[in-house]
Structures are given as C-alpha cells and as structure tokens.
Amino acid sequence: MSEPIVSLRDVSKRYGDTLALDQVNLSIQPGRIVGLVGPNGAGKTTLLKCLLGLAPYTGSIRVMGKEPVRQRQELLRDVCFIADTAILPRWIKVHQALDFLAGVHPRFNRAKAEAFLKETKIGRDKKVKQLSKGMITQLHLALVMAIDARLLVLDEPTLGLDILYRKQFYTSLLNDYFDQERTILVTTHQIEEVEDLLTDLVFIRDGRLILDKSLEDCQASFAELEVAPEHVDRARALGPFHERSVLGSSVMLFENKSREELATLGRLRIPGIADLFVAKMQQGV
C-alpha cells in the first residue's frame, strides 16, 4: 500500500471549553473519494481547517508528507479548497477571477478553465453578483478543474443550490476532474447525492470518528433486515445495532453477522448510506 495522502494521529482541537475534535485518527490513500459526513457541530469543518493549516491542534497531521501549519505555503501548491459558493468576492468579474488565479497559482491552466466556461452562458465581463447560484457553481467548477491539485477539499460545496445544479456539480467533478492520481475529500449533508461518487465513508459525531470504512467494506460488513413478524425475537437476539419500524414491519441493521443466518429471518439487503448514517448517529446515544 502506498503512503497515505492524509494522515491524522490522535488529533484534538479545543475552542475554549468545547472539544471540537477528540483524538481523531484517520488515513486517506491517494486516488480515493472520501465522504466526511456528520450533523452540524460534529467537527467536520474543524477537521478540514486543521488539515489545511488554518487552525492549531494537538496530535500529528501530515498531508502529502507535510505538516499543515508549519508548511502551509508549500502544501497549498498541491491542494485546492472550496468552502461553498459564497467564497468568491461578489464584486469580481469572471475574467478577473481567471486573471487572479493565473497569477497566483502555479498549477492553474487558464485554457482549460476557458474551455469549460465555453460550455456555459457565463459572460467574461459579468460580476459574480450578477450570476445565478447555478452559474457561480459552474464558475467554481471551471476554476477548480483547471487546477492540477493532488488533493481537492470540498466543504459543503453545493449548499443552497437546487438539485439540478447539485447533480451537475458532482457529475462534472467525477467525469471532468477526478482520476486515479487525485484525491477528493468532501463534506456534505446531501448524503444520497454522493452515494455513487464515494469510495470511502467517514462518519463523525461530537468530534469523534464513529465509522471509517471503504464502500466495499461497508457493503460486506453491514446488513439491513426486514424481519418477518414471527422472527422478531430471534432477530433481536442476534444483537442489531439499530431498529426502526417501517409500515408496521421491523427493520434491523446488523454489523458483521452471518448473512446466511439473517436471510432465514426475513428480507435481507445492503443498507443505503443515509440509513446507515442515521443508525450510526443514534447508536449509543
């Protein structure tokens, strides 16, 4: 296995009396698309800030072998970060944004950005404040996909956009940007929209990681069982970590249980990410 592109060891972060990150350990391999998922206040943005050298922390972080706070300038040559579509100055014109990036980022390919913008209705003399949210998203995509970054960090990149532009964002990201040499780390509340995009899942709650698995491992480890009424007691005896009622039926989630045995008790399927997320968030609460 190659060296991880991101490595966190026992990372903690406090804001006054609030423990935003609590002994986090995480390793991300190159060429993966990782979804960092958690409720508001879980620590997602704090974790990203630490990774990017924007906040001090205790513990150890290495991103592409560099220490984020001490080597931040070197690090940002290989990292691209988008918080949301509000980060572009409203007064800037499209051509000025292109000029700026061409002047400051050594890996920005202006021709590639221009080629993407030709597929849109965005005028080069338009100011950001004159663009719709969808157009701003398209502009963001043009800028991002023209930067040859090894690591792309996205923090709720489609927040506030309608479903058409959210889908366009992720489709373009996958088809026009991602390759096996690049790595993407994305936080989002729209779990279903990124389900087919991700290779790895990381769930965070109260500053702690409660799940860190590849999608393949999730599919192998977790099972959702719609239990036949006569087998409810037997199913509960096997120790599901979550149970809910759907149209009068009991639906239980299991981890690392025999699928052959579970299949004798009802209808078995692989849980969706959203259902798995809700179950893990409620586990032990």
Task: Give mean pLDDT, residues 201-225.
Answer: 95
The predicted pLDDT at position 84 comes to: 60
Is pLDDT of 207 > 80? Answer: yes
What does pLDDT average to over the chain?
89
pLDDT in tens, 245-280: 988 889 999 999 999 999 999 999 999 999 999 999
For the chain, the first-to-last Cα distance in angstroms comes to 36
pLDDT at 199: 94
Better pLDDT: 172 or 204: 204
Question: Could you report the per-residue pLDDT of 73-93, keeping only the tens digit for each?
Answer: 888 888 888 776 557 888 999
User: Worst-scoring range by mean pLDDT, 8-12, 139-143, 221-225?
Assistant: 139-143
Confidence at residue 149, expressed as pLDDT on a 0 to 100 scale? 86
Supply the pLDDT for residue 243.
95
Outline where the chain has alpha helix (H): 44-51, 72-75, 94-104, 110-117, 133-145, 163-172, 191-194, 215-221, 232-237, 259-263, 273-282
Give pLDDT, residue 213: 96
pTM of the shown model: 0.87
- In this prediction, residue 57 has a pLDDT band, given cuts at 50, 70 and 90, of very high
| Tens-place pLDDT, residues 89-145 | 889 999 999 999 888 888 888 998 998 898 888 999 999 999 987 788 788 878 887
Q: Is the pLDDT of residue 160 over 90?
A: no
pLDDT of residue 85: 53
- Reported as a pLDDT band with limits 50, 70 and 90, residue 169 is confident
Question: How would DSSP label each residue in 85-130?
Answer: TT-S-TT-BHHHHHHHHHHH-TTB-HHHHHHHHTTS---TT-BGGG
For residue 127, what are the β-bridge partners?
93
Q: Phi and psi of 260, rounded to 5°?
A: -60, -45
Query: What band does 50 get if pLDDT is binned at 50, 70 and 90?
Result: very high
Instruction: Spell out the residues 6+ positions from residue 116 whose beta carbon is closer than 8 angstroms to its own.
Output: 138, 141, 142, 145, 146, 176
